[in-house]
A and B are shown apart, each in its own frame.
Chain A
Amino acid sequence: MTCRDAIAVLADYLAQDLDPETVAALERHLADCGPCTTYLATYTKTRAIGAEAQRVEMPDEMKARLRRFLLDRLERS
């Protein structure tokens, strides 16, 4: 397995969506390849912090405006 092959399957590897032979080949490659080991570590961290950064909450005043907007539209319809 080359670096190109390894990086191509990282998402499936993290999702545990690879067949056992590919997992074994990938892990053999990672054991010998510093750049790909680093790539996997930073890719995994990117997934975690990217998700956390996007867990935004709807502001309370926006919820209040949404409620008023919908009630107003329902009354008019």
Chain B
Amino acid sequence: MSSDDHLLLASAAAGDAGALEALMSRHSARVYRLAYGISRNTADAEEIVQDVFLQMVLKGGSFEGRAALGTWLYRVTTNTALNKRRGKRHQMETSLDDVLPTFTADGHREGDRAYLVADWSATPDRELLSGESRRILEEAIDRLPDHYRAVLVLKDVEELSNEEVAEAVGDSVAAVKTRLHRARMAVREHVTRRLGVRA
């Protein structure tokens, strides 16, 4: 943790509103992105952010100096969000096996060729990120299991290294890489099934 963060934490724990403001300004955006990314619910994300910041401030000066505060926040936010989601699995959640590519015995892709070469990748981002396409994309992300969304946000949005993601989610680098790849493939498949043929 930077000495700056350490000083701010100690001051915030002592009731210094300015230090608290500085910590929020520095870290709340990433905590919220991750909390929302896992929970996919604004009210749940707000509770998670409050819980994480409260843990941070109450820890205050006793914070162990070796870990970066950012890394600690990612880990605690991930745990808090996954715990909150436990038992609240989304009804729409898809079995990933249904949306991963399938292959013939000799290793070729299975399926109708028109579908296999349906390429929507030239569609402009602004088009894909609005209207019906955006709804389809959000639905695809919603359908991922929570711990897959955690890895997706930490890697593709927060741009952490595989090692940093592994530390945040408490899993091995190999497991993180597998989960990331499967999450992207599942989202790709969902979008392709709905957009691919007409793109």
Contact = CB atoms under 8 A, between A and B. Distances in A.
Q: Do the two chains belong together in a single complex?
A: yes
Interface of A: 2-5, 7-8, 10-12, 34-36, 38-39, 41-59, 62-63, 65-67, 69-71, 73-75, 77
A45 B46 contact: no
Instruction: Pick the most buried of A51, A54, A55: most chain B CB atoms within 10 A of its CB.
Output: A54
Contacts of A73: 54, 57-58
Contacts, number: 142
A2 B107 contact: yes
Contact of A70 (B20, B103, B181, B188): B20
Given A5-B107, A43-B185, A65 B121 contact: no
A50 B57 contact: no
A35 B109 contact: yes
B137 A66 contact: no
Contacts of B192: 42
Interface in B110-158: 113, 116-121, 123, 125, 128-129, 134, 137-138, 141, 152-153, 156-157
Nearest to B23: A70
B90 to A, nearest CB: 16
A66 B117 contact: no
Given A3-B107, A74-B15, A49 B137 contact: yes
A11 B108 contact: no
A2 B106 contact: yes
Interface string B14-57: 01010011001000110011001100001000100110011001
A74 B113 contact: no
A42 B36 contact: no
B24 to A, nearest CB: 7
B8 to A, nearest CB: 13
29 contacts: A2-B103, A2-B107, A3-B103, A4-B103, A4-B107, A8-B181, A12-B177, A39-B188, A42-B121, A42-B191, A46-B188, A49-B128, A49-B137, A52-B129, A53-B134, A53-B137, A54-B152, A54-B156, A55-B33, A57-B32, A58-B28, A65-B50, A66-B28, A67-B24, A70-B20, A71-B17, A73-B58, A74-B12, A74-B57
A50 B24 contact: no
Closest 10 CB pairs of A and B: A2-B107, A58-B32, A35-B116, A41-B121, A46-B188, A11-B181, A45-B121, A51-B156, A4-B107, A4-B103
